[in-house]
Structure 1
């Protein structure tokens, strides 16, 4: 016996035949169900397409180009005005003055707390240059 036939060894022939008949019946049933599902799917798709075409036809109203673009300029002006109001800033408000004062205070604290990183870097460079000159002489 072949490897895939080992599961039938030691069983009566009637049981093996019953097994094959049962498998064939299951395949036919499955094939029928699969065909039915494909048919249902295609009919659903056709129904959706018809419904979409019908709704598209109802929505399409013949309008002239002039009527379609009639309000564009007005809408554009309204949008620009809304953006101006949204992006506007007001001079002399407390929020901005405190923000400026905070920035000035931060600058003062940085300068009063010690030399900045760039100042330290320059100082180190000068020291290195002096050391290099001293070694040459």
Structure 2
């Protein structure tokens, strides 16, 4: 669910994505050798497929009242919020590569297997995504640097 949330940026879309991935896996459950890896691969490929087919757009509406939200999981809520916003500025494929590589700590080879692409694609998507993050969300790097200097 956490990976799906980082991909979609929306709790309800993440729940739908996880449900779709599990529903697809259940139809082939008796043939699957590694269920966890299979479900993750379905999750990422379905996410990219959704984006391509539907061009999911999260529409925000302004209201007078602020919504009640739970604090993001992780060591520092401020960094988590900035990270989620920064990931929202990437393409779905770039977001999937960064979540797999750095959030879930998979190797380039494992990431390539899960996304059904070549290692070279993972490397180039990682490079492009990090370059784009540096350009579009410089506050993320500054925030992390500040937290490290202060000692979190």
Higher relative contact order (CA 8 A, sep 6+): 2
TM-score scaled by length of structure 2: 0.14
Structure of greater Rg? 1
TM-score scaled by length of structure 1: 0.15
Higher helix share: 1
